[in-house]
Homo-oligomer: A and B are copies of this chain.
Amino acid sequence: MHVLQSKIGIKINAKVYKKDPLSSELGGKILSHSIAFIEEAGFEDFTFRKLAQLINSTEASIYRYFENKHNLLAYLTMWYWSWMEYRVFMTTVNIDCPKIRLRRVIKCLTEEVKEDNEVQQIDEIKLQRVVITESSKVYISKKVDQDNELGFFLVYKDLVQRVADIILEINPKFKYPHMMVSTIIEGAHHQRFFANHLPRLTDIIPGEDTVTTFYTELIERELSIEK
């Protein structure tokens, strides 16, 4: 019997999978090896056939878990954001001052992941790299509206809302809280990607966490928060 559920409350919309990958050994292998494969070779070169060979299984077996590779990537992305929401929750619990809460949340959302301990099947460090480079392929697709109706982006939208609420607590008149948050989240991913491949588009100094610093300063200035 396999009990591979997450210790904490990571919630994945059941419509993204055909069979819960965390409910079996094969499912677990699908997750861990797909993360490793996509991180290494990119989503384009990732196929269910190659993954099957890698884990000594078959294409047909993988198709029993996920309808297609798009949905598998959607699953991984959902898992990541759900995990992020938990981390955001943990880092702000019992903190009364919204300014401190905001600062902690921005840090959480923009910095590089360094832990890896939630679930055995999922290497969060690699997963973040996958999310940074590949997750936009989940929503920038002709399937967006369809996937959105199925609830694939609920966790993400809830997370943005949660941060927007902190912003509104600090400045209830601020008109663009959601734009601000999605700009920061997506921007942080882009900047990390640029740092690796198109450095002229960024100002990242190796050794420093320029991304977190930049976005923290940006939002604090926008909301007129003094240091």
Knowing that A145-B197, A179-B204, A183-B191 touch, tell me 8 more A-B residue pairs with CB under 8 angstroms. Answer: A45-B142, A139-B198, A148-B198, A176-B203, A180-B214, A183-B190, A186-B187, A222-B222
Q: List 21 A-B contacts (CB under 8 A).
A: A41-B142, A134-B140, A136-B136, A136-B140, A137-B140, A160-B201, A177-B203, A178-B201, A178-B203, A179-B191, A179-B204, A179-B210, A179-B211, A179-B214, A182-B190, A182-B191, A182-B194, A183-B183, A187-B187, A217-B222, A218-B222
Number of copies: 2
Contacts of A42 in B (CB 8 A): 141-142
Contacts of A187 in B (CB 8 A): 183, 186-187
Partner of A218 from B153, B161, B178, B218 at Cβ < 8 Å: B218
Partner of A222 from B141, B177, B179, B221 at Cβ < 8 Å: B221
- Decide: B221 and A202 in contact? CB cutoff 8 A: no
- Decide: A203 and B183 in contact? CB cutoff 8 A: no
Partner of A140 from B133, B179, B221 at Cβ < 8 Å: B133
Known: A160-B200, A222-B222. A44 touches B214 (CB 8 A): no
Q: How large is the interface on A (under 10, 10 to 19, 20 to 34, 35 or more residues)?
A: 35 or more
Contact residues of A between 42 and 79, Cβ < 8 Å to B: 42, 44-45
Main DSSP-derived SS at the A contact region: helix
- Decide: B214 and A202 in contact? CB cutoff 8 A: no
Contact residues of A between 148 and 172, Cβ < 8 Å to B: 148, 153, 156-157, 160-161
The reply to whether the CB of A175 lies closer than 8 angstroms to some CB of chain B is: yes
The reply to whether the CB of A97 lies closer than 8 angstroms to some CB of chain B is: no
The reply to whether the CB of A193 lies closer than 8 angstroms to some CB of chain B is: yes
- Decide: A148 and B202 in contact? CB cutoff 8 A: no
Q: Which residue of chain B has its CB nearest to the CB of A174?
A: B203
Contacts of A41 in B (CB 8 A): 142
Known: A183-B187, A221-B221. A214 touches B176 (CB 8 A): yes
CA separation between A221 and B174, bound complex, in Å? Answer: 14
CA separation between A142 and B92, bound complex, in Å? Answer: 37
The reply to whether the CB of A119 lies closer than 8 angstroms to some CB of chain B is: no
CB distance from A131 to the nearest CB of B (A): 12
